[in-house]
Amino acid sequence: MAVAAAVTTGVTAALATTLLPVLLPRLDGFLSAGRVRRPGDARTSWERWARHLMCHPWPYLGGAMAVLVLMAVPVVGLRLGVDLDRASLAHSEVGVGLAQMERDGLANVTLLALPHAAGQGPVDTTDLTEALAGDPRVVTPMALDNGRDLTVVAVVDRIPADRPAAGALLNDLRRRAGRTLPGGQEVLCAGQAADLADLQQAMRAALWQVAVLVLAGTFVLMLVVFRSLVLLVKAIAMNLLSTGAAFGLLSWFTGHTANVVVPLMAVTLVFGLSLDYEVFLVHRITEHYRAGTACREAVARGLSGTAQPITLAAATMSVVFAGLLATGRQELRQVGFLVAVAVLLDATVIRLVVVPALMQLLGHRNWWLPAPLARLLPPVPTPAPSSAPRVPRPSRTEKDPAPTVLSHREETRSVHEQHPVGIAHITDLDGQGRLPAHRGCPDRTGDRVRHAEHDHRHGEQLPPRPVLQGRDPHGPPDQLQPGAHPAAAPHPNHGDPPPDRMLRRQPAVAQRHFHDPGHRASRLQRRLRRPRLREHHLVRRQRAPDRNLHRAPHPTFRHRLQPRQRPA
C-alpha cells in the first residue's frame, strides 16, 4: 500500500508539471467558455470573512480551540484491539460456523509447540495437561507428538480470539508451558489468538515508528520551505489537534474501541493531506509578507486567496473517503470516518479560523528563526505575488514626451461647472507609468490619473501631461505661470495651509473607510462608498481653518467654498 501510494503521488506530480502545461493551451476554448471571474472584480465572501477574522482574532481562536479540545477528550479512553467483525460475517458460512462454535463453548484453539531433540523422546506433558484441565477457561487439552522432534499441546478454550481475555489466557499458557521444557527453552504458540496478539504488538510498535518518521519529515520540510521554527511547531500542533479531534469522535461513536490497524493507516493519510493544506495557506501568506505587506494584511490576503481551493479540495477528499462507510468491513469504515472528519476539521476550523487568527496575533514572530540555524539553511527566494498581469510598457518615440509625474495634491474640478472644489489625495506614477500602492493601500487617484492608467493598460500612447507649476498647495498662492495647467491656479479660499491634524487624519480616514471591508460600515461610511459623496467628504476634511467659510449646496451634491456674508 505504501509503495502504491508513493508511486501514484510521483506519477501525478510528474504529469501535472509536464503533460498538463501542454494540454491547457490546447483546451483554452473549453476552459474559458462562459463567464470568467477576475480576482479584483468584487469583494468575495472569503475576503469579507478574512477581514472580519483579522478584526476579532481572540474570540474565534478561543472558541475554535475549545471545540477542538472537547472533541479530542474522548481519545484518552480509546482502546486499540482486533475485532473479527461478526456483523459483516453473519450471512456467510464462516460467520455461521464461528457463531455455532462459540455457542457450544469451542471458541478458539491454541497450539503449544514444545520442541525436543530427536533421540530424547517426547516431552512429558502430564503436569501441564492436568493443570490446564482444572482451568475453567479451558475445555480440554490434548497432547500430540510427531515421533521426531516436536510435541504439540492443543488447548481448546471458551474465549473468542478477538477478546482481551484471550490475550491474558495466551500469556498464562506460555508461562505454564515454559516450565515443562528443560533449560528454559522458548515455547512456540500458534492459532488465531496468537496471530491477533502478535498483530497488535507489531502494529503498536509500527505506529510509533511511523509517527516519528512523519513528524521528522514534517519538521525538515517546513523548516526548509518556510525557514521558521514557529510555523513548524504550529503546523505539527495543528495536525495533531485535528487528528486527535477525529479520533475523539471515533471513540465516542464506537464505544471507545478501534481496530489496531486503523491509526496506522489514518495518521499517514491525515498528516499528508493536512500538510498540503498548510503549505497552500502559509506559502501564500509568506509570499505577501516577504513582498513587503504588513503581517495582518498578508494573512488576510493569503486566507482569502486560498480558502476556496482548500475547502473544495477538502470536500472532494471527504466525499471520497466517506464512500468507505458503505463497505462491509469495520476497519475500512473506521478509516473512512477518521479521514473524512479529520480533513473537514482541518480545512474548515483549523485552516480558516485557528491558523489565520494565530498568525495575526503572532505578527512578525511567525518567521522567527535562530541565526545559527538560518546560516545552515539555503535561502528560498519567494517572488512577490501579482494580482494582475503585467502589461508591457508601450514603445515611445523621441518626439513623444514622457508622462508628467503628478504631485501629491491637485485641484480637482467640478464635472458640470469646471470649478475647483477642493484638494484630493493622489499617488504618484512610478517609472513605468503604473500606479503603485502606498503603505499597502490600493490606489485612490483622481480622474486624470485614472485616465492615464486606463490608456496605459489598453496599450495606447500616454498623452503628454503639462507640469503643474505656479504654486505650492500648502503655501500662499502664487501667480500662475504661462503654459501651466489650469488646475494649478490658486484658489482664493486656499491661501492658508490646512491644519496639520486634518492632513494627518485624511489618509487614516480614507484607509479605514475604503480599504477595510471587515470594518462595520456606519451610515456615513456607506455614503462614502458613493463616488460623489466620497469626494465631497474629502473636501470637507481638507477645508481651510477659517471658520467664516461655509459651503452652499450644489446641484451635483458637491460644495464650493464661499465666504460667509456677515449681516449688516
Q: What digits encode the pLDDT tens for the residues 405-425?
A: 433 334 333 333 444 433 333
Q: Is pLDDT of 54 > 80?
A: yes
Task: Reply yes or no on whether the pLDDT at 430 is more than 50.
Answer: no
Report the range out of 16-30, 94-108, 296-310 with the highest average pLDDT: 296-310
95-195 has the same fold as 46-82+198-376: no
pLDDT at 383: 53
- The 10 Å Cβ neighbour count of residue 93 is 8
Going from the C-alpha of 151 to that of each of 3, 16, 142, 415, the distances in angstroms are 41, 61, 11, 108
Neighbours of 513 (CB within 10 A): 19
pLDDT band, residue 204 (cuts 50/70/90): confident
Q: Which residue has the cell 486499540?
A: 80
pLDDT confidence tier of residue 564, bands split at 50, 70 and 90? low
Between 425 and 153, the more confident residue is 153
pLDDT digits (tens, 9 = 90+) for 228-284: 999 999 999 999 999 999 999 999 888 888 888 888 888 888 988 888 899 999 999
**69-78, 88-97, 152-161, 247-256: which range is least confident on average?**
88-97
CATH 3.90.1410.10 fits 46-82+198-376, yes or no: no
CATH annotation of 95-195:
3.30.70
Query: How many other CB atoms sit within 10 Å of the CB of residue 460?
Result: 10
Instruction: Indicate left, alpha or beta for 433 from its phi (over 0: left) and psi (-120 to 50: alpha).
Output: left
Averaged pLDDT, 175-203: 81
138 vs 82, 124, 159, 425, CA distance in Å?
22, 20, 9, 93
pLDDT at residue 43 in the model: 54
* Lowest mean pLDDT, pick from 149-153, 167-171, 369-373, 550-554: 550-554
| pTM, 2 dp | 0.61
Over residues 110-114, the mean pLDDT reads: 85
Among 115-129, 373-387, 477-491, the least confident range: 477-491
- pLDDT classification of 381: cutoffs 50, 70, 90: low
Domain regions of the chain by residue span: 46-82+198-376, 95-195, 409-563
Q: How confident is the model at residue 49 (pLDDT cuts 50, 70, 90)?
A: very high
* pLDDT above 70 (res 308): yes
Residue (of 60, 52, 65, 511) closest to 300 by Cα position: 52
Lowest mean pLDDT among 97-111, 190-204, 255-269, 454-468: 454-468
The upper half-sphere exposure of residue 560, i.e. CA atoms within 13 Å in the direction of its Cβ, equals: 14
Q: Does pLDDT of 541 surpass 80? A: no
Closest to 359 (Cα-Cα) out of 426, 286, 432, 430:
286
Residue 113 has pLDDT above 80, yes or no: yes
pLDDT of residue 63: 95
Look at residue 141 in the predicted model and tell me its pLDDT. 86
What integer pLDDT is reported at residue 348 of this predicted model?
Answer: 92
- Angle of helix 45-55 relative to helix 295-322, nearest 10 degrees? 120
Average pLDDT, the chain: 72
CB 384 within 8 A of CB 406: no
126-133 contacts, C-beta under 8 A, 24 or more apart: 127/180, 128/153, 128/176, 128/177, 128/179, 128/180, 129/153, 131/176, 132/173, 132/176
The DSSP 8-state label assigned to residue 292 in this structure reads T
Residues with Cβ within 8 Å of 548's Cβ and at least 6 positions away in sequence, in order, are 563, 564, 566
| Cα–Cα distance measured from residue 382 to residue 393, given in angstroms and rounded to the nearest whole number | 25
Q: Which of 173-182, 375-384, 460-469, 536-545 has the highest mean pLDDT?
A: 173-182
Compute how many other C-beta atoms are within 10 angstroms of the C-beta atom of residue 33: 8
Would you state the pLDDT for residue 295? 92
Specify whether the backbone of 184 is left (phi greater than 0), alpha (psi in -120 to 50) or beta.
left
Indicate the DSSP class of residue 192. Answer: H
- pLDDT cut 70: percent of the chain above it: 63
Residue bearing cell 471587515: 518
N- to C-terminal Cα separation, the chain: 98
Give the H/E segment covering residue 561: strand 559-563
Percent of the chain with pLDDT over 90: 21
Cα torsion through 504, 508, 514, 517, rounded to 10: 180
